[in-house]
Structure 1
Amino acid sequence: MEMVIYQSFVASCATVVGLFAGGEWKGLKSEMENYEMGKASYIMNLVGSTVTWQAFSIGSMGLIMEVSSIFANAIGAVGLPIVPILAVIFFHDKMYGVKAISMVLAVWGFISYMYQHYQDDGKSKGENLNAQKDSPPDQVQEVDK
């Protein structure tokens, strides 16, 4: 948890410094007032994005701690095409070639990860069965089915 908190704190500090150093803070009020859906929607969008990113960060850290970093990366890769697909469906965004290729690669990477786990699982079950056949009868262990 501390890693997520420190990482978010440093990112927030860097963003605030960049906001004030670049003079972008002067345009925030006009940006909020010119937002098509209104001020309340603008603020809800910012708060929703913040909460969603925090949930993603904590969830990723949980996956890394409980399962593995590779699995967390695979889940992140399979989640990558979801946003563009939802943008195409709900916001009628155009699907460009680069977007389609990145989505295909993300899904391909996840399928490759799952297939590798399937192969490794089959190998380990085969090795367990061979070890069980070779061991003396008094040392036979049950193999997961």
Structure 2
Amino acid sequence: MYSVLLSLMQLTFQKVLKKETFSVVLEMQIYTSVVATCVSIIGLFASGEWKTLRGEMDGFATGKLSYVMTLVWTAVAWQLCSVGVVGLIFVVSSLFSNVISTLSLAVTPIASLIVFHDKMNGVKIIAMLMSFWGFTSYIYQNYLDDIKESKTKADAKDASTSSCC
């Protein structure tokens, strides 16, 4: 679904917005964030989970301030990540943005292992290997495409020089 969302964003940039500015990237991020916030708030209140938020905050091991700071900085980090993802769609493509996002899924467990001394289990290792494999496949396919394009250009250049002389 995430890949479909990224492709739809690229389609929106190309067919609907038709502008090439950084403000368009920020507008796209703002619109998707507002929709996601509304859906989340509706879900929070519809499920009744809003009643448990106070208990969750009180039960947080490092205190209420730490709980709030965790929520705030998580939101800020996600917004920065989302702006980067949308920016990659704008500048390169949705495929490249998805490849980079997938690669970051492999970096996250490694960072948590180093920073938080998190335990590495089999599922994390398999997920990391799959994301590295996907990234490597993407890079290799770009390499093959570049070789094919260079050969096509060289053949066209040879054909044009041999026909004119």
Q: Note whether the superposition's TM-score is higher than 0.5.
A: yes
Out of 33, 41, 44, the position equivalent to 1:16 is 41
Q: Which runs of 5+ in 2 are unaligned?
A: 1-25
- Give identity over the alignment, percent: 49
Out of 94, 97, 101, the position equivalent to 1:69 is 94
> Aligned partner of 1:103: which letter?
M
Out of 53, 57, 60, the position equivalent to 1:35 is 60
| CA–CA separation in structure 1 for the residues paired with 2:122 and 2:88 | 31
Residue 76 of structure 2 aligns with which residue? Answer: 51
> Alignment partner of 1:36: what SS?
coil
| CA–CA separation in structure 2 for the residues paired with 1:2 and 1:34 | 37
How far did residue 34 of structure 1 move? Answer: 2.0
How far did residue 112 of structure 1 move? Answer: 0.5
Residue 96 of structure 1 aligns with which residue? Answer: 121
How far did residue 76 of structure 1 move? Answer: 0.5
| CA–CA separation in structure 1 for the residues paired with 2:155 and 2:53 | 67
Stretches of 4+ moved more than 6 A in 1? none
Larger relative contact order (Cα-Cα within 8 Å, sequence gap ≥ 6):
2
Residue 120 of structure 1 aligns with which residue? Answer: 145
Residue 110 of structure 2 aligns with which residue? Answer: 85
> Alignment partner of 1:81: what SS?
helix
Corresponding position: 1:107 with 2:94:
no
Q: Which runs of 5+ in 1 are unaligned?
A: 140-145
> Aligned partner of 1:45: which letter?
T
86-95 or 4-13, which deviates more:
86-95
Q: What is the number of equivalent residue pairs in this alignment?
A: 138
> Aligned partner of 2:65: which letter?
A
Residue 143 of structure 1 aligns with which residue? Answer: none
Q: Which has the higher helix share?
A: 2
> Aligned partner of 2:30: which letter?
I
